[in-house]
A and B are shown apart, each in its own frame.
Chain A
Amino acid sequence: MAAPDGRRVRPYLATRGRTRPVQDIAIEALVSTTKNGRTNGSDPEPERERILRLCHSPRSVAEVAAIVSMPLGVARVLVADLETEGLVRVADPHAAFAGSEEPARNLSVLERVRDGLRRL
């Protein structure tokens, strides 16, 4: 989607095609750049480009905000846009457990966390 001058029009992307409200993306949700995001060429918007590079290894939305130096709310919007465009994937722990209990209330997840902490 492009404006007549060729620039992407974020406000439209921000409201179209999203599967969920931006606020629903957990701050710990892991963002990773997809194959398309890696091969798409550099993004004209510097913040988006930084996110795409950063998330070659998965980072939480909170890390994206901190490292790219933007408020959490702005990071969520950009991440949601990139997700809509297929350039990043967002692994939301709550969505992953939709229909069953949340990971934080799942005994085997908690056991793994406990054992992982003990091993540190």
Chain B
Amino acid sequence: MAFVDSEVSGGTQADQDALSVKIVVAGGFGVGKTTFVGAVSEIEPLRTEALMTEASTSVDDLSMLPEKRTTTVAMDFGRITLADDLVLYLFGTPGQNRFWFMWDDITRGAIGAVVLVDTRRLADCFGAIDYVEQRGIPFVVALNAFNGVQEHDVEDVRDALQVGPEVPFVVTDARERESVKVVLVTLVEHAMSLIQQT
């Protein structure tokens, strides 16, 4: 293997690699995930696709052979360089049942998740909330104020989503950088408090 050189880490590279961390932005289609990511990202949100082969057994298929379909799942993501040696990635991804396989990959090692909610379509976030709750992933619920969410609506939404009082709820405008920053800081602080409790 002539082109393998033992001096892999030598040269002009910095001595220490930067650390990269990530936060997942989840929610139904059109809830504002890409807008949210774009509001704080230092790059235009990028899109990547995972090619997946889904095995499914169709009831119509008399042979009962599993049929294989190829689907792609898109996710939009952005990057924030927080320091010379620290980079935060935000991954926006649809929360939908047929995409859960991809979520394992996206959420592994994540600081936590922002579950974005459109109060007119609450049910769209049920799957995402179930997922993060079951896996013990720290999360906050961010109500994207398309129509202006009143503060007193927030507890109604918490009831409707059946989310415990320990989970922070925030009202946000996904288009506003400062508002998105508040949501992210709330999530990080929540993740910190969960560690401090244990």
Report which A residues bind B (CB closer than 8 A). 1, 17, 23, 26-30, 32, 34-36, 38, 40, 58, 60, 62-63, 65-67, 71-75, 84-87, 89, 91, 93-94, 96, 102-105, 107, 109-114, 116-120
- Which secondary structure dominates chain B's binding surface? mixed
Inter-chain contacts of B196 with A (CB < 8 A): 107
Question: What 9 A-B pairs are tightest by C-beta distance, nearest first?
Answer: A35-B11, A116-B82, A91-B17, A66-B46, A71-B51, A66-B48, A65-B48, A114-B188, A28-B20
The chain A residue with its CB closest to the CB of B189 is A114
Count of chain B residues with a beta carbon within 8 Å of a chain A beta carbon = 54
Q: Which of B6, B10, B109 contacts A102 (CB 8 A)?
A: B109
Q: Which of A60, A66, A102 contacts B47 (CB 8 A)?
A: A66
- Asked whether any CB of chain A lies closer than 8 Å to the CB of B1, the reply is yes
B18 adjacent to A91 (CB under 8 Å): yes
The chain B residue with its CB closest to the CB of A61 is B48
Evaluate whether A72 and B48 lie within 8 angstroms (CB atoms) in the complex, with A87-B3, A89-B17, A103-B109 already known: yes
Q: Give B175-196 as 1s and 0s: 1 = Cβ < 8 Å from A's Cβ atoms.
A: 0010001001100110110011
A29 adjacent to B20 (CB under 8 Å): yes
- Which secondary structure dominates chain A's binding surface? helix
**Cβ distance A78 to chain B, nearest Cβ, rounded Å:** 14
The chain B residue with its CB closest to the CB of A91 is B17
Evaluate whether A117 and B19 lie within 8 angstroms (CB atoms) in the complex, with A26-B108, A85-B1 already known: no
Q: Which of B8, B18, B106, B110 contacts A104 (CB 8 A)?
A: B110
A30 adjacent to B17 (CB under 8 Å): yes
B82 adjacent to A113 (CB under 8 Å): yes
Max count, chain A CB within 10 A of own CB: residue among B6, B19, B40, B191: B19
Q: Which of A26, A86, A111, A118 contacts B3 (CB 8 A)?
A: A86
B18 adjacent to A27 (CB under 8 Å): no
B21 adjacent to A113 (CB under 8 Å): yes
Max count, chain B CB within 10 A of own CB: residue among A29, A63, A89, A114: A114
A93 adjacent to B9 (CB under 8 Å): no
Max count, chain B CB within 10 A of own CB: residue among A27, A58, A86, A119: A27
Complex-state Cα separation, A34 to B74, whole angstroms: 30
B5 adjacent to A28 (CB under 8 Å): no
Inter-chain contacts of A117 with B (CB < 8 A): 80, 82, 88, 181, 184-185, 188
B111 adjacent to A63 (CB under 8 Å): no
The chain A residue with its CB closest to the CB of B106 is A27
A28 adjacent to B3 (CB under 8 Å): no
- Asked whether any CB of chain A lies closer than 8 Å to the CB of B91, the reply is yes
**Cβ distance B176 to chain A, nearest Cβ, rounded Å:** 13
Inter-chain contacts of B79 with A (CB < 8 A): 60, 63
- Asked whether any CB of chain A lies closer than 8 Å to the CB of B22, the reply is yes
B:56-82 near A, CB below 8 Å: 72, 75, 77, 79-80, 82
- Asked whether any CB of chain A lies closer than 8 Å to the CB of B86, the reply is yes
Q: Which of B4, B46, B106 contacts A86 (CB 8 A)?
A: B4
